[in-house]
Structure 1
Amino acid sequence: MSERFKFFTSAPKPLPAEETPTNLPVPAEMAGELFGDPRKRRLLEEKVILHGKIIDEFNLAFLDQMSRDDLRRSISEFVFDYIKSKQILLNQSETEAFLEEIIDEMVGLGPLQSLLDDPTINDILINTENCVFVERQGLLQKTEVRFKDEAHLLRVINKIVSRVGRRVDESSPMVDARLLDGSRVNVAVKPIAVDGPLVSIRKFSKRPYSIDRLEGVGALKHPMSLLLQGAVRGRISMVISGGTGSGKTTMLNALSASIPPTERILTIEDAAELQLQQPHVARLECRPANAEGKGEIRQRELVKNALRMRPDRIIIGECRGEEAFDMLQAMNTGHEGSMTTIHANTPRDALRRLEQMVGMASVAMAQQSIRQQIASAIQVIVQLQRLSDGSRRVVSISEVTGMESDIIQLQEIYRFVREGIDANGAVVGSFRATGIRPLFLESLKYMGVDFPASAFDPNTPL
C-alpha cells in the first residue's frame, strides 16, 4: 500500500462529542430522509468546511489559471492531511472520490458537477437544497445529491449566473442563464420560491444532434428529414412548434446545419443556447435590467438592430412576445428562410399564438392584416411532441398555403399516428404521408432540390 493511504489502515479514534454525526446541524428526524445516512451527511459537511479552508489557504487567482490536473496535484496533499486529522474513515477509492468532489467545488459546480458530467441525464431539477431530480430517457428519477444548506445552493447558483453577467437576489428573484456549454438554466429564489431556491437545468448534448441522429432515435423518418432539409436550403421560412421539453431547440439546431455556409446568420436569444455550425454566425443575447431597473434590452430591440447588420437569415431562439411583429416583417422583406421556435400544442395553435404576440406589439393593425402577414411570412410549421414514454416525435409537418376569407389555410404533409402502448409502456405508432404534395416543391425544384412522388404516397411506408 502506498504511503499516502497508510493512515487509513488503523482504527480511527472516537470523534469528540461535538463532531459526532448525530450532533451536526441537521434535525435528527430528517437525517435519513435528507442525506441517506449520518456518514454521508458528515462527508457533505466536511466537504463544504474543507472548501472554505482551501479558499483561505490558497491563492485563488493562481488556482483559477491552473488545469484540473494541476489543481488536483496542488490541493491533494492538503485534502489528505485534512482527512487524516479529522479521522474520517475512507478507503482509497472513497478518498479519491472525496478529492474529486472538493475540486468540483473549486472549479465546477459542486454537487451538480457529477450530474452535469453524466451523458445519460437530460434535465436537472433542484427543488431546494435537499431534493434533486434528474430526467433520464424522458423519465424523472430522484437522486441522492444534496447540498449542505440553502447558502451552499445559493453559492452554486451565483457562480452560474455571474458567469454570464446576471444576478439573482430578493430584488430580482428570477433569472434565465446558461452554462458554459450552452445548457439552459432557470432559477427562482425567495420570496417567490416559497420553500427555497428552485433550479431547472436543460442540458445540451456534448455531441449536438444532427438530423441523421434524430432519424436514428426515431424522431422522424428519412423522407421527412429530406423535405425539411430541402426547405431550409430553399429558404423556406419555418416555425418549430411544441410544448416544453419537446425538442424544439434541438430540432432548430439540427435543421440549421442545412443552411449554406456562404450565408450570414444572426441569432437572437433570451439566453444564448443555439449551437450553429456555420462559419458566419453573429450571436445576439438579451440583457436584463440592472439593480436600478435600467438597461434592459429585449428581443424586439435586438431584432430591429439585426436588420441593420446585413443578415441573410435571422434565427430567433424562442418567439414569445412583441418581437413576433418584427420577425414577420423581416421574413416579408428579404430575409426568407428565417426560423424560430414557439410554444404551442398544434400547428393551428402556433398560428393563433403568433397572432396574439403580434397584438402585444401595440401596432394598430386589423386582425385580417395580421393574419395576412403571418400567411405570407411563414410557410412551414414543424410540430413536435413529447410523448407519454418520454420520447420526442415530429407529430406533424404542415404547410401554410395562404388565406381563404379571413382564415389562414394549413395542409398537413406528414403526421405521426399513435397506435397504442406496448408491454414496456413505449408508445407504438407510425409516420405517414397524407398524400398532399407541398406547394413549395416547385420553388425548390428551381434550386436543384427534387423529391420522388413516392415520398408523399400515403400507401407507401415511410
Structure 2
Amino acid sequence: MAPAVLDAVREELRRRPVPDDLTAVVDGALRAHGTLLGPVPLAQAVRAVADELLGAGPLQRWLDAPDVTDVLVNGPHDVWVEQAGRLRRVDVDLGTPEAVRALAVRLAAAAGRRLDDAAPTVDARLPDGTRLHAVLPPLADGCAALSLRVVRPQAFTLAELVASGSVAPALAPVLVALVDRRANLLVSGPTGAGKTTLLAALLSRVPPDQRIVLVEESGEMLPDHPHVVRLTARRANVDGAGGVGLADLVREALRMRPDRLVLGECRGAEVREVLAALNTGHEGGCATLHANTAADVPARLEAMAALAGLDRAAVAAQAVSAIDAVLHVRRGQDGARRRLAEVGVVGRSPGGELEVATALRVGDDGLVRRGPGWPRLAERLGVPAGTADPAGMLAVHGTGGS
C-alpha cells in the first residue's frame, strides 16, 4: 500500500475515528491518487489498510491464524511464531528498526498505554484481547522486542478437552465431582501448558445460579457462564500512581458476594489473601500458578507468601486446609500436546513441611494410576478409596507411577 494512500486514510480516520464504511474511505483515497480497483483487489486493499492502521501490520496475518498462539519480534527480519505448539521462524519484513518501534508504539497506544523513552516497556491488552509486551532500546538490544500472545475468544468445554486428548477420559468425572462438591482447586503448570484453558472449562460447569468473581492481571479467561464479574488489575502510571494490584482486587472481590472466587494467576503477595479467603468459608475457589511440576508447588507457594510476610509454617497451615486438589498440566516433549498430567493433594511431610502428594497420575500410555494421595482425594470426592473402580466413577489401574 502506497504511503500517500495510507496517509490519506489516516487523515480521514482522524476526522472520523469510527467511519461508517472503511471500504468507502479506502476507495476514495485510492481514487484521489489515480487508482481504481475492482471488488476483489479493493477488498484486499481494505484489509491491508486495516492491518496497517488498526491491526499489527504484516504480523496481523499470523495473529489471525487459528493455530498460532504467540508472535515474537526480535528485529525487522527476525520474526518467530508458535504455531501448533512449535516455535518457528517466518518470512516477515517489518522494514527497519524504526518501523518496528513505530509499530510497538502504535499497538501500545491502541491498548491505552504509553511507550517511549520515558516508559520503555509495556505490558498491555489490545482491544481484541491479544496480550502485548514490548521493550524499546536500549533495554532491548538494537531493536524493539515485541511479544504478542493471542487470546482466542472461545471457551472449551470439558468434553472438548477430553476429545482433544488434553484430559484423560478417566479424569473427567473426577474434575466434575471436584467442581460439583465445591472443592478449592489450584491449577499449576509451566507457561503455555493450558492452565487458563482448563480452569475456564471447569468454571463453565459451575451452576448458573452461582456468581463467579474473577480476578486477573489481564483479562484472558473466558468461562462459558452467565454470571461472571471480572476485575482486572491496573498498573501504576509513569509517576508511580494509580496502580491497583491483585491483592487489592482479591480483597474487593470478597465484598462482592462471590459464590466462587477465582484468581486467574497467582504471582506474588496476593497468595496471602487467596489462602485466607479459602480458609474462611469461600468454597469452590480456584487459582492458577506457574510451576514446573506438582512437587514444585509448595516451594512456589512459600516463595510468594514470603513476599507477604508469611513464614513456611504459616503457609503450610493455611494451604493444607485451603486447597483441596492441585491439577497439574504440562506440555508434551514435542511442545504441541498439552494435557492434565496429575491430580495431587496438599499435605504435610513427617517433618511438617508442605508437600503435594500424587493422587492420580496419567502415564505415557494414557492410563490413570492412583498414587499415595488417592485416599485423601477420594475422601474429598466422597467415594471409597479402596476399590479399583470406586463407585463406578474411575477407570484407574492400581498404584504406581507412569
- Which TM-score applies when normalising by structure 1? 0.77
1:432 paired residue among 368, 373, 384:
368
Aligned to 2:317: 372
Change beyond 3 A, Cα 1:100–1:369: closer
Aligned to 1:417: 363
Check whether the contact 1:122–1:134 (CA below 8 A) recurs between aligned residues: yes
What is the deviation of 1:109? 2.7
Amino acid across the alignment from 2:9: I
Distance 1:80 1:415 in 2: 65
2:137 matches 1:183? no
2:2 matches 1:51? no
Distance 1:172 1:280 in 2: 37
Distance 1:176 1:106 in 2: 21
Check whether the contact 1:47–1:102 (CA below 8 A) recurs between aligned residues: no
Aligned to 2:30: 79
2:157 matches 1:216? no
2:354 paired residue among 408, 416, 420:
408
Cα RMSD of the aligned pairs, angstroms, is 2.8
Change beyond 3 A, Cα 1:332–1:353: same
Distance 1:128 1:47 in 2: 23
Q: Helix, strand or coil: the match of 1:388?
A: coil
Aligned to 2:16: 62
What is the deviation of 1:140? 1.6
Mapping of residues 24-423 of structure 1, within 5 Å: 46-56=1-11, 58-66=12-20, 70-79=21-30, 82=33, 84=35, 97-363=44-310, 365=311, 367-390=312-335, 391-401=337-347, 404-418=350-364
Range with bigger deviation, 295-304 or 431-440: 431-440
In the alignment, structure 2 segments of 5+ residues that lack a partner are 384-389
Distance 1:163 1:98 in 2: 22
Aligned to 1:452: 392
- Which TM-score applies when normalising by structure 2? 0.88
Amino acid across the alignment from 2:271: A
Question: Looking at CA atoms only, which structure, 1 or 2, has the larger radius of gyration?
Answer: 1
Q: Helix, strand or coil: the match of 2:346?
A: strand
Q: Helix, strand or coil: the match of 1:348?
A: helix
Check whether the contact 1:401–1:439 (CA below 8 A) recurs between aligned residues: no
What is the deviation of 1:319? 0.7
What is the deviation of 1:206? 4.0
Distance 1:83 1:343 in 2: 56
Amino acid across the alignment from 2:195: K
Distance 1:192 1:229 in 2: 47
Change beyond 3 A, Cα 1:161–1:431: farther
In the alignment, structure 1 segments of 5+ residues that lack a partner are 1-45, 419-428
What is the deviation of 1:311? 1.6
Aligned sequence identity (%): 31
* Deviation sequence 1:53-109 (CA, Å, 0-9, x none): 3223x253425243xxx2113312422664749xxxx99966753442123223333
Distance 1:317 1:370 in 2: 20
Distance 1:432 1:439 in 2: 17
Amino acid across the alignment from 1:369: A
Q: Helix, strand or coil: the match of 2:265?
A: coil
Change beyond 3 A, Cα 1:457–1:265: same
Change beyond 3 A, Cα 1:189–1:233: farther
Aligned to 2:387: none
What is the deviation of 1:288? 1.2
Q: Helix, strand or coil: the match of 1:231?
A: helix
